[in-house]
Amino acid sequence: MKNILIPTDFSIAAWNATKYALQLFEATNCTFYFLNTYTPELHSNRLMAGTGINGIQNSSAQLVSEKGLKKVIQQVKKEYKNPLHHYQSISSFSLFIEEVKETVEEYKIDFIIMSASGSSENVSIFMGRNTVRVLNAISNCPVIIIPKDGKVVRPWNIAFVADYNQFYSTEELNTIVQMAETLKCTVHVIEVQNEEGRMSELQRINQDMIDKSLAAISHSFHYLKPQESFSISLKQFINQANCQLLLMSNVTNSFINNLCRDFVVERSAFCSEIPLLIIQGVESNSMVNH
């Protein structure tokens, strides 16, 4: 049984993330925890409290939250009749990040799946405030970030942006293997090549470790020589290799770390068309597994 946390503000973007989660884990025994937090005095501000997918209008923030969660679960059961899936709602009077942390610990969450940005955020934003906060605050659970207006597509090819200057733990690499085995997909390992085009001894050792760890799944190695920028080169590779999921480590990848120093992430700074899986230095929780 896998435990999946889906924060929601009842927006179309949050529903899109929900659909992705349900389809990604369609063959897996799961309990989905739908989380909405609210603070009445800040109800109309930026915390995770919305108006509901069917236009719920109520002066009580608690009632809006509870009714919204009930409607989400009703809609899920109506559109996705999956006997492997179970659903729980969490309506909480608390700060969003604090509640996410507590929920991950209390329910032993295996995945957080959320929209890249909220309903009230600018269309030019790929990664909004709450998403960046989750990546910065959660260190023990993988996070899948779903583009606000992205299509729900099953991953057949995963682009894994590796950094051969960093050591990847067994848990991180096992996470990738389990995901690929469950989805029956190919992992394309990408490394940004230096100007000389040669690897150091450390880089060769780390690449060999990755190669051995991924031996049980279909995988290949690729090298990027950015002509303009890393983002542009990565987008070009993703399109050419027909990748449907981008994977990075928040612990070892300097690119994602640099992005998360900002309060929000602009679309122009990132590959915003496909979901992004961030492995957060996982220690005990495993990835998709029956």
Amino acid at 210: I
Q: Is residue 286 part of a domain?
A: no
Q: Is residue 151 part of a domain?
A: no
Assess whether 126 and 168 both reside in one domain: no
Q: In the prediction, which pLDDT does 15 show?
A: 95
pLDDT, averaged across the chain: 81
Q: What is the CATH number of the domain that holds 236?
A: 3.40.50.620
Assess whether 63 and 188 both reside in one domain: no
pLDDT bin (cut points 50, 70, 90) of residue 118 is: low
| Residue partners of 189: CB distance under 8 A and separation at least 6 | 160, 162, 210, 214, 219, 220, 221, 222
Look at 11-20, 54-63, 96-105, 192-201 and tell me which has the smallest mean pLDDT: 54-63
Q: Does pTM surpass 0.75?
A: yes
Per-residue pLDDT for 49 more than 70? no
Q: In the prediction, which pLDDT does 31 show?
A: 98
Tell me which residue of 131, 107, 102, 111 sits closest to 9, measured CA to CA.
131
The arithmetic mean of pLDDT across residues 206-223, rounded, is: 96
Assess whether 60 and 195 both reside in one domain: no
Which residue bears the tokens 């925890």? Answer: 33
Assess whether 44 and 113 both reside in one domain: yes
pLDDT bin (cut points 50, 70, 90) of residue 274 is: confident
Assess whether 14 and 118 both reside in one domain: yes
By residue range, what is the domain housing residue 271? 157-279
Report the domain count for the chain.
2
Per-residue pLDDT for 99 more than 70? yes
- Are the CB atoms for 153 and 239 separated by under 8 Å? no
* Digit-coded pLDDT (tens) for 142-183: 999 998 776 778 899 999 999 888 888 888 898 899 889 988
Q: In the prediction, which pLDDT does 211 show?
A: 97
pLDDT bin (cut points 50, 70, 90) of residue 228 is: low
By CB atoms closer than 10 A (0-12, 13-18, 19+), residue 117 is buried
- Are the CB atoms for 129 and 265 separated by under 8 Å? no
Assess whether 133 and 185 both reside in one domain: no
97-101, 166-170, 198-202 — most confident range: 97-101
Number of other residues whose CB lies within 10 A of the CB of residue 60? 12
Tell me which residue of 119, 110, 124, 96 sits closest to 277, measured CA to CA.
110
The arithmetic mean of pLDDT across residues 195-205, rounded, is: 81
Q: In the prediction, which pLDDT does 283 show?
A: 41
